[in-house]
């Protein structure tokens, strides 16, 4: 799923057409009347979290008689192309030669071979963007104190970080990298963390997202990744990879059981261990249920042994 920094990059790319008139429209969208966009000027673009908003008006003034806002959400595989159409890669053609080139959801043409092509996204007309700048990790107005309070829940931090109501723009890459930076196990309950550790995690998420938006490409931070899609962490330990159920959704999660050990929540916490074979590695790893009160969250940890090791697995 495109994350906040990626959508921010796309907005910058689309911004080259600000002030230009939409000459032609196309695409297979059923939720937008394409005819009403023709002849309007692309007058504004805004990003909030993983969503992009584009404004079209009959003229460049704020008092324009016609104003149309479009909201784009790119889902899991959406993308934006500038002055080019998306084609099937050679590897995809090799696997399934019957697949045709993808059809764009929306095409906005501003001139000869000058256009924006949106793929795989949800696009709809809205009255105006409803933005809460305090929960957007890419904005300077991001409310660290409010976000820190949000993390004090009896839920796994990997679940809380992906909640767009408070961490708009954070996706799976930023989540994994922030957890490694703060040395936190993904299934650690937010309610068990100290104020210092919560602040460290919130600042890590914001800093990683902002650095990506500033220096990275639309698809990856230029500085490189420490844990996401890695086989070993920067210290040389084996990285674990599991599809962890976050309650509302499931995401691939990467962590180092040495650098990010699961800490016990309380002396009364019970750990019941079961051994399962993971589909991702084919190795055996213990699956632990962390129970406290009525809450039960599955935790997958790789048990490793070494002299003097003190891992909760």
Q: How far apart are CA 266 and CA 20, in angstroms?
A: 61
Q: Percent of the chain at pLDDT above 70?
A: 75
The second-level CATH assignment, the architecture, of 4-126 is Alpha-Beta Barrel (3.20)
Q: Please write the tens of the pLDDT for every residue from 161-199.
A: 999 999 999 999 999 999 999 999 999 999 999 999 999
* Residue of 122 and 1 predicted with greater confidence: 122
Q: Return the residue matching tokens 């039960």.
A: 296
Where do you find CATH 1.10.8.50 in the chain?
Answer: 133-300
pLDDT, mean over the chain:
82
- Separation CA 93–CA 79 (nearest Å): 19
Neighbours of 222 (CB within 10 A): 10
Which has more confidence, 302 or 256? 256
Q: Nearest 5°: phi and psi at 77?
A: -125, 15
Lowest-confidence segment of 89-98, 110-119, 121-130, 269-278 by average pLDDT: 269-278
What was the pLDDT predicted at 61?
63
pLDDT of 265:
67
Q: Does 1.10.8.50 match the CATH number of domain 133-300? A: yes
Burial 290-306 (b: 16+ CB within 10 A, else e): bebeeeebebbbbeeee
User: Across 74-173, where does the E strand assignment appear?
Assistant: 79-82, 106-111, 114-119, 122-126
* DSSP state letters, 13-44: HHGGGTT-B--EEE-S-SSS-GGGGTT-EEEE
Buried b (16+ CB within 10 A) or exposed e, 166-202: bbbbbbbbbbbbbbbbbbbbbbbbbebbeeebbbbbb
Give pLDDT, residue 77: 86
For 140-154, 166-180, 236-250, which range has the lowest pLDDT when averaged over its residues?
236-250
Residues 72 and 123: beta-carbon distance below 8 Å: yes
Rounded to whole angstroms, how far apart are CA atoms 212 and 236? 24
Contacts of 229 (CB under 8 A, 6+ apart): 254
* Phi, psi angles (nearest 5°) of residue 282: 75, 5
11 SS3 class? helix
Report how far residue 169's alpha carbon sits from residue 2's, in angstroms, rounded to the nearest whole number: 9
Each residue of 103-132: pLDDT tens digit?
A: 999 999 999 999 999 999 999 999 988 888
pLDDT above 80 for 98? no
Q: Bigger pLDDT: 156 or 295?
A: 156
- CATH 3.20.190.10 spans which residues of the chain? 4-126
């Amino acid at each position: 799923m495109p994350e906040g920094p990626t959508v921010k990059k796309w907005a910058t790319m689309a911004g080259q057409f600000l002030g230009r008139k939409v000459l032609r429209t196309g695409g297979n969208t059923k939720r937008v009347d394409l005819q009403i966009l023709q002849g309007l000027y692309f007058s504004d673009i805004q990003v909030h979290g993983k969503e992009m908003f584009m404004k079209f008006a009959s003229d460049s003034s704020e008092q324009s008689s016609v104003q149309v806002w479009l909201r784009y959400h790119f889902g899991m595989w959406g993308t934006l192309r500038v002055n080019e159409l998306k084609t099937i890669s050679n590897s995809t053609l090799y696997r399934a030669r019957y697949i045709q080139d993808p059809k764009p959801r929306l095409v906005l043409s501003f001139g000869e071979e000058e256009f924006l092509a949106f793929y795989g996204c949800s696009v709809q007309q809205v009255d105006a963007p409803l933005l809460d700048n305090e929960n957007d990790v890419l904005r300077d107005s991001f409310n660290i104190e409010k976000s820190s309070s949000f993390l004090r829940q009896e839920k796994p931090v990997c679940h809380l970080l992906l909640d767009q109501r408070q961490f708009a723009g954070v996706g799976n890459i930023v989540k994994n990298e922030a957890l490694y930076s703060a040395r936190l196990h993904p299934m650690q309950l937010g309610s068990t963390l100290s104020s210092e550790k919560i602040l460290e995690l919130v600042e890590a998420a914001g800093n990683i997202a902002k650095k990506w938006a500033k220096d990275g490409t639309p698809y990856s931070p230029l500085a490189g990744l420490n844990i996401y899609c890695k086989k070993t962490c920067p210290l040389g330990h084996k990285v674990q990879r599991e599809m962890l159920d976050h309650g509302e959704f499931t995401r691939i999660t990467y962590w180092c059981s040495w650098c990010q050990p699961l800490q016990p929540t309380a002396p009364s916490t019970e750990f019941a261990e079961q051994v399962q074979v993971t589909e991702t590695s084919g190795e055996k790893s213990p699956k632990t249920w962390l129970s406290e009160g009525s809450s039960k969250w599955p935790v997958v940890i790789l048990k490793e042994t070494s002299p003097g090791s003190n891992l909760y697995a």
